[in-house]
Amino acid sequence: MTRILLDTSGLSAFFRGRTGVVEAIREADEVAVNPVVIGEVLAGWRKTGGRYERDLREFLQGPRVRVVNITEATSQNYAVIVESLRKAGKPVPTNDVWIAASAMEHGFAVLTTDRHFARIPQIVSKIAGP
């Protein structure tokens, strides 16, 4: 069973029709996003006057798609990841740590186009190609 959690770059790449991402989502048994990803996408689309928000709503209503919430367990995972990255001297943007913490909590691989997710040893990341 393939379970993926999209980060913002992955979801954005999907909406742009990037082949590798579209195929990975099509093949997944379960697809998730968390509120951080939704917020980042919505913030990016603000400059378009909300023109794409309908696309996001339709995507989120897909039969294999779910939104995973940020919980106390997510916060614990966040702390573990931050400490690990700090010790390794390999910083990652804060919002991406929250995304990774959600993936860790729910057992998802992160589908992304951002290579820095590979620095997070607590998760499996799938770096999508073209």
- pLDDT single digits (tens) 41-95: 999 887 777 667 888 999 999 999 999 999 999 999 999 999 999 999 999 999 9
Q: What's the whole-number mean pLDDT along residues 6-21?
A: 94
Strand partners, 5: 32, 110
Phi and psi at 91, nearest 5°, equal -65, 150
Count of beta carbons in the 10 Å neighbourhood of residue 51: 9
Question: How many Å is the Cα radius of gyration of the chain?
Answer: 14
Instruction: Please give the pLDDT value at position 70.
Output: 97
For residue 48, what pLDDT is reported? 75
Model pTM score = 0.91
Q: How far is it, in rounded angstroms, from Cα 13 to Cα 45?
A: 14
Grade residue 1 by pLDDT with cuts at 50, 70 and 90. Answer: confident
| Maximum distance among all Cα pairs of the chain, rounded to whole angstroms | 42
In sequence order, the 6+-apart residues with CB closer than 8 A to the CB of 89 are none
Domains parsed from the chain with CATH numbers: 3-127 (3.40.50.1010)
Q: To 10 degrees, what angle do helices 53-60 and 35-45 make?
A: 160
- Residue 102 burial class via C-beta count within 10 angstroms: exposed 0-12, middle 13-18, buried 19 and up: buried
